[in-house]
């Protein structure tokens, strides 16, 4: 199981799902929505962050599916 974040990125043929650190894309899709669905499932399975990029390559949104690294402190102490 990979512990690397999953990215949805623009590609010359549409949209791609790329695992962080890999040079090759994991899958290619004709629409961003299709790529996001596949990437979201992968991020959930791997318990990592989903990073969604816009057509210009800049990050548009992020969703975290891993354990919370900074859980809220209990204020009842």
Whether 24 is in a domain gets the answer yes
Whether 70 is in a domain gets the answer no
Whether 11 is in a domain gets the answer yes
Banded model confidence at residue 69, pLDDT cuts 50, 70, 90 = low
Q: Domain tally for the chain?
A: 1
* pLDDT above 70: residue 7: yes
pTM (predicted TM-score): 0.83
Q: What is the average pLDDT across 17-23? A: 95
Whether 73 is in a domain gets the answer no
Range of the domain at 58: 6-64
Q: What is the average pLDDT across 12-26? A: 96
Q: What is the DSSP string of the chain?
A: ---S-EEEEEETTEEEEEETT-SS-SEEESSHHHHHHHHHHHHHHHT-EEEEE-TTS-EEEEEE-S--SSPPPPTT-
Q: What percent of the chain has pLDDT over 90?
A: 79
Whether 51 is in a domain gets the answer yes
């Amino acid at each position: 199981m990979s512990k690397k974040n999953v990215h949805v990125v623009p590609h010359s043929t549409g949209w791609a799902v790329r695992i962080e650190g890999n040079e090759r894309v994991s899958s290619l899709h004709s629409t961003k929505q299709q790529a996001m669905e596949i990437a979201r499932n992968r991020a959930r399975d791997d318990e990592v962050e989903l990073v969604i990029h816009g057509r210009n390559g800049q990050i548009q949104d992020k969703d975290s599916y891993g354990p919370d690294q900074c859980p809220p402190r209990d204020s009842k102490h």
